[in-house]
Amino acid sequence: MPFDFEMDTIRWIVISFFSGAIIMGLFNFNLYLFHKKIYLKKWMYFWLIIALDYIIMFLAFYYENLLLFGIYFILVIISSYYFYSGSLIFLNEKMNQNVYVTLGILILLTLLSAIFPDWIGWGIVFSYWTYSIFLFHVGRKFLAVKNSFSISTGLIMLFFSLLTFAFPFVALFPWFNPWGYMIIGMVGLLLGVSLVQMHFQKQKDDYLVVQTKLQYLVHHDPLTKVLNRSYINDSFNKIMKTNAVNVGLMFIDLNNFKQVNDQYGHRKGDEVLVSVGKILRTICDPKGLVCRFGGDEFLILFYDTSEKEIKDFQEKIIEYGKTNLVDEVKVTFACGFAIRKNTQEDIFDLLDIAEKQMYSLKSTQKNR
């Protein structure tokens, strides 16, 4: 036999390693059923192949069969591939096509080592070095992410990479048994737990991204990207509940905007509305919050303002329309405003006042 081990030692190594691998495999399978992530399926294959591999290793020792040793070594390579590819998918990295060529060469060399008894030692070297290289490469990529979970997982991978690299040279020494196998087993399980932890952290991060996007969509107009009617309503309710005063409202309407749509088309009209949103933000930021009220109407909220300040903004907006083109189209503005000076004033009534003032100015502009 190429390896000299007592069967009792092999049996306990296989039982402990198989148990850990099958639990991690089933756990990843359960996660995959619920979350449908490809990397979870790859990690599931990794652990289940590892579990199968230890059974084959036991049979290889029990029957003293070199072919089974060869299958054992090949499965180590295949399992490491699933670990590697799953981890790259998790990190949104692409796998180099040369990896497949390298895998094919290593599997061929490992098969040859099983065919020729004198080469059997190279089989364990090729298989575990492949595992080590994959671990090292992925570990470095995890470290590059630069957050606490990724760094800790990357460090565990690098340590495990060193253990698997050294394994073919120390596995046969008496001092390595049983503590060396226990250390490898514990680090392997720790790596599995870290990957699951990374998955849940990724789920949390993805949820926060979706939540942020939804919050943005709830309060922003999809066309102009300024704040929307929903934000206005929420702000008005908050103003009333907190008894905020010195809150200014400016109601803005585009003069003769219907003619823009009729003459240039609705696509051009949409482009003009987008540009108007940007112009209003440029003029009023950071003091004023620009909102699209509906159609070609905009509303600007001013907190802690005065009549003089809001009137200055009104004059700037009207003057811009007189002296500039918007997307090569002449667009002028009619603006009305109102200020909540005490808590008895209803903010919704002030909106009506600002709107009426805007229409009064609009009528005056038309008569000029």
User: What ranges do the domains of the chain cover?
Assistant: 7-215, 229-367
What's the pLDDT tens digit per position in 163-203?
999 988 887 777 777 778 888 889 999 999 999 999 999 99
Q: What is the pLDDT of residue 11?
A: 83
What's the pLDDT tens digit per position in 111-149?
777 777 677 788 888 889 889 989 999 999 999 988 888
* Cα 247 to Cα 265: distance, rounded to the nearest angstrom: 37
Residue 64 pLDDT exceeds 90 = no
Q: What is the pLDDT of residue 252?
A: 96
Q: What is the pLDDT of residue 1?
A: 45
* Averaged pLDDT score across all residues of the chain: 89
Query: Model confidence at 368, in pLDDT bands (50, 70, 90)?
Result: low
What's the pLDDT tens digit per position in 232-281?
999 999 999 999 999 999 999 999 898 999 999 999 999 999 999 999 99
HEC sequence for the chain: CCCCCCHHHHHHHHHHHHHHHHHHHHHHHHHHHHHCCHHHHHHHHHHHHHHHHHHHHHHHHHHCCHHHHHHHHHHHHHHHHHHHHHHHHHCCCCCCCHHHHHHHHHHHHHHHHHHCHHHHHHHHHHHHHHHHHHHHHHHHHHHHHCCHHHHHHHHHHHHHHHHHHHHHHHCCCHHHCCHHHHHHHHHHHHHHHHHHHHHHHHHHHHHHHHHHHHHHHHHECCCCCCECHHHHHHHHHHHHHHCCCCEEEEEEEECCHHHHHHHHCHHHHHHHHHHHHHHHHHHHCCCEEEEEEECCEEEEEECCCCHHHHHHHHHHHHHHHHHCEECCEECCEEEEEEEECCCCCCHHHHHHHHHHHHHHHHHHHHHC
Tell me what the mean pLDDT of segment 6-29 comes to. 87
Query: Model confidence at 286, in pLDDT bands (50, 70, 90)?
Result: confident
Name the fold adopted by 229-367: Alpha-Beta Plaits (3.30.70)
Q: Is the pTM of this model over 0.85?
A: no
The arrangement of strands across the sheet holding 333-340 comes to 288-294, 297-302, 247-254, 333-340
